[in-house]
Amino acid sequence: MGRFQPFHLGHLALVKQILDEYDEAIIAITSSQFNYLEKDPFTAGERIEMIHNSLKESDIDLSRCIVVAIENQFNIATWASYLKAALPHFEKVYSGNDYVKMLLADSGIEVMPPKFLDRTQYNATCIRSMIISGDNWQSLVPNAVVKFLQKINGKKRLDVISKSDTKPTEH
């Protein structure tokens, strides 16, 4: 479960970790209704495509992965129930987000801590900043993500969003 803004090598390593332990992985793209924002610049469809292309490029059996987009809920207290209704059956959730851990644990959902690669390096916020500044971000994401962001001119989008004084309602 994550925003995947963008999908990076840390995310890919976690998918591989889960598939080593389980038959299938559900990759739930959260905040799917948000896009073209500084924190969430890419659409749900773009994130699905980045993830799908990255899994395919990594020779991961796509029949073992389910990629779904889910919207954030206004009533946080009912979020766990929403997940159970919106997602295929799941046994555990992997999340490194303490807030997510608290919410799901309070609802009786087992939350597993992911074995993160270097989280300071594999961090989507930092990667977005590196794309804007022109630093070497390409080594932090799958090649499929590099190609996709070039195709959609992701750098220009991030530049425009970061310099805009128009701030749509953030979440």
Whether pTM > 0.95 for this model: the answer is: no
pLDDT at res. 22: 94
| Span of 68-72, 75-79, 151-155 with lowest mean pLDDT | 75-79
pLDDT at res. 36: 96
pLDDT at res. 111: 92
End-to-end CA distance of the chain: give it in Å, rounded. 17
Task: Please give the Cα distance from 96 to 103 (Å, whole number).
Answer: 13
Q: What percent of the chain has pLDDT over 70?
A: 96
pLDDT at res. 167: 66
Q: Which class for 28: exposed (0-12), middle (13-18), buried (19 or more C-beta within 10 A)?
A: buried
Q: pLDDT of 7-17, one tens digit each?
A: 999 999 999 99
Which one has a higher pLDDT value, 39 or 121? 39
Q: What are the beta bridge partners of residue 2?
A: 29
pLDDT at res. 98: 87
Question: Residue 99 pLDDT more than 80?
Answer: yes
- The domain 9-163 is classified under which CATH number: 3.90.230.10, 3.40.920.10, 3.40.50.720, 3.40.50.620? 3.40.50.620
Q: Where along the chain do its domains lie?
A: 9-163
DSSP tally for the chain: helices H, then strands E: 7, 4
| Span of 3-17, 101-115, 128-142 with lowest mean pLDDT | 101-115
Here the tokens at position 32 are 């799917």
3-state secondary structure of 28: strand
